[in-house]
Structure 1
Amino acid sequence: MGKGTVAIHEDIAAFLASHADEGYRAFQAKLIPNIDAATIVGVRTPELRKFAKGLARREDAGEFLAALPHGAFEENQLHSFVIAQERDFGKLVGEIERFLPFADNWATCDQLSCRGLAANPDAALVKVRQWLESDHEYTVRFAIGVLLQLFLDERFRPEFFEWVVAVSRPEYYVNMVRAWYFAEALAKQPAAAERVIASGALDEWTHNKAIQKAIESRRIPFEQKGRLRALKRRS
């Protein structure tokens, strides 16, 4: 381990120790039950984001990014926030693909910003198709998150619904983001999304969860909520 690597890891460890909050650590452990609570330090996200801005400007930042896997949940969060600041599309994709296999929870996955991928939407969609075919749960979740955040407005194409419908996996956190995606679609692309729901193309759990989340949304008109309630499936 080089001198630079030691320095940046010591600085990160010192930062995490000085900003640890036991109450917040316990709160985070409940929100992310699938990871070892001992890996959670308890540092709030705004503090991590602020610190990550400084890390990204360091000459030895690359040494931290290369030191995978990280030991602490907050180190993964810092990693996400650092690479999100990359403005070169090719480098950003490379960093995302290097990091995604080590994402082991929904929070790290969802806080890995995909906004930089909007710089080249066509190339981003090529990567999304690849990520959707991954064997890794959170890579698939990230891919659907990209479609949700970047491709439900002016960049939307009906075929994207087919991509998400075609994802057939047992993991809760994959199917939850599929439901979230269609709930958002019911607000942003209501006619097309409602046709998908009415078709019964989704598995029952995702179908019903998407309807539930849409009905809870203030952006869905009363009349549409009535139609969606009628479409709920009962075993």
Structure 2
Amino acid sequence: MTEEIRNKLYELSEEKYREFNQKLLPGVEHVLGVRLPILRKLAKEIAKDDFRVYLAEAQAQITRDSIHEEIMVQGLVIGYAKMEQEEYRKCLDEFVPKITNWSVCDSCVTGFKFMRKAPDYWFDYLKTYRDSKEEFEIRFMVVAMMNHFVDEEHIEEILSICNEIRHEGYYAKMAVAWALQVCYVKFPEKTRQLLENNSMDDFTHNKAIQKIRESYQVSREEKEELGRLKRIHVC
């Protein structure tokens, strides 16, 4: 089944879009150039069919070095398929190590809405990645928390986790900055307290403030106040 899907991806690919997409995915070698809406449509079709056969083959045949779109489809199918909790977990345990770029991470994680149905279970699951040495496992955790758990029950722990992350990867740091923007929009006072007193590195701290100030949901007065919290080093 995975071979059939691979052939279909080749048929759906566009050379100009491949060239464009390749520029957005530095370091990713195997990109065909299939647009995300088309990948989503394909994944939905698989999820309505015998998706367990597909996922079993994907687990065995698709690796982190496989074609970008193949990995993307696997993650999207997990989000669209209807499974029991432990089955989802098994699929994620197998899929997450294959994430090697922001596109696969962010596009797939937004579809993992099943996490909202058992928040305690899935939030605890995400926390198992907090000490990972892998850049995109950290990003997976942070982006999933940002998309599905920024609420009254989890906000303080999310802020604490963001403050404690010590990964040097650019995409891990940017995930934290992005998450803090989302947290600020929903919980400005609690997030501002963190921005006023935190142990994040300067890059992540300043990027978080930058992203918050770029939001249309933050007032001009707030943006001016937040600007004063940026760290400036004089050489």
Output the TM-score relative to the length of structure 1. 0.91
Q: Distance in 1 between matches of 2:85 and 2:23?
A: 35
**Post-superposition offset of 1:154:** 4.2
1:83 to 75, 78, 81: 78
1:40 aligns with 2:38: no
Q: Distance in 1 between matches of 2:101 and 2:186?
A: 27
2:2 to 3, 9, 15: 9
Q: Give 1:5's aligned residue.
A: none
Aligned AA (2:32): V
Paired residues in the alignment total 226
Q: Distance in 2 between matches of 1:143 and 1:104?
A: 14
Q: Distance in 2 between matches of 1:46 and 1:14?
A: 18
1:169 to 167, 170, 183: 167
2:97 to 97, 101, 112: 101
Checking the alignment, whether the CA contact within 8 Å between 1:49 and 1:81 is kept in structure 2 is: yes
1:49 to 37, 40, 44: 40
Checking the alignment, whether the CA contact within 8 Å between 1:89 and 1:119 is kept in structure 2 is: no
Aligned to 1:158, the other structure's residue is in SS state: helix
Higher alpha-carbon deviation: 94-103 or 58-67 = 58-67
Q: Which runs of 4+ in 1 moved over 6 A?
A: none
**Post-superposition offset of 1:222:** 1.5
Output the TM-score relative to the length of structure 2. 0.91
1:58 aligns with 2:58: no
**Post-superposition offset of 1:223:** 1.4
Identity of aligned residues (%): 28
Q: Give 2:133's aligned residue.
A: 135
Per-residue Cα deviation, 1:91-117 (whole angstroms, up to 9, x for no partner): 112111111111111111112233111
Checking the alignment, whether the CA contact within 8 Å between 2:2 and 2:58 is kept in structure 1 is: no
Q: Give 1:115's aligned residue.
A: 113
Where does structure 2 lack aligned partners over 5 or more consecutive residues? Answer: none
Checking the alignment, whether the CA contact within 8 Å between 1:214 and 1:220 is kept in structure 2 is: yes
Q: Distance in 2 between matches of 1:152 and 1:26?
A: 36
Checking the alignment, whether the CA contact within 8 Å between 1:86 and 1:116 is kept in structure 2 is: no
Q: Distance in 2 between matches of 1:143 and 1:17?
A: 31
Checking the alignment, whether the CA contact within 8 Å between 2:55 and 2:74 is kept in structure 1 is: no
Q: Distance in 2 between matches of 1:103 and 1:193?
A: 29
Q: Distance in 2 between matches of 1:128 and 1:17?
A: 34
